[in-house]
Amino acid sequence: MNTIEWSTKAARQLRKVADRVKRQKIFAEVQQLANWPDCQGNIKRLQGRDDYRLRVGDYRVIFEIGQDSTPIIVTIMQVEKRNERTY
């Protein structure tokens, strides 16, 4: 089981998601990242960057994996609705 850390920015963005059901779904999908690399979901590595994105409906969760220690630390950097400025 890996550790999941939320940045202050990501936690604030998650709280701003208006629909409670969507907010809970995003949180549940992020909790699946604790099983990295054996987690399910729509995850892709971002081109030219060291981080990944998790797609949850119209929302994107940007996260990075810290490989420096054991257990692995998954840091959630951003939670935003998908648009032309998301990445």
Residue 12's pLDDT band (boundaries 50, 70, 90)?
Answer: very high
User: Among positive and negative, which fits the CA dihedral 47, 44, 62, 38?
Assistant: negative
Note the pLDDT of residue 2. Answer: 81
Give, for 45, the enclosing helix (H) or strand (E): strand 42-45
Residue 33 buriedness (CB in 10 A; 0-12 / 13-18 / 19+): buried
- In a 13 Å sphere around the CA of 27, the CA atoms on its Cβ side amount to 13
Question: pLDDT, tens digit, for every residue of 23-47?
Answer: 999 999 989 888 877 887 789 999 9
Distance CA 30, CA 20 (A): 15
- pLDDT for the residue 87: 58
- Residue-wise pLDDT for 49-75, tens only, equals 888 999 998 999 999 988 766 677 888
Q: Report the pLDDT value the prediction gives residue 13, as an integer from 0 to 100.
A: 92
pTM of the entire structure? 0.83
Superfamily, domain 3-81: RelE-like (3.30.2310.20)
Q: Is the pLDDT of residue 86 over 70?
A: no
**Contact yes or no for 31/2 (Cβ under 8 A):** no
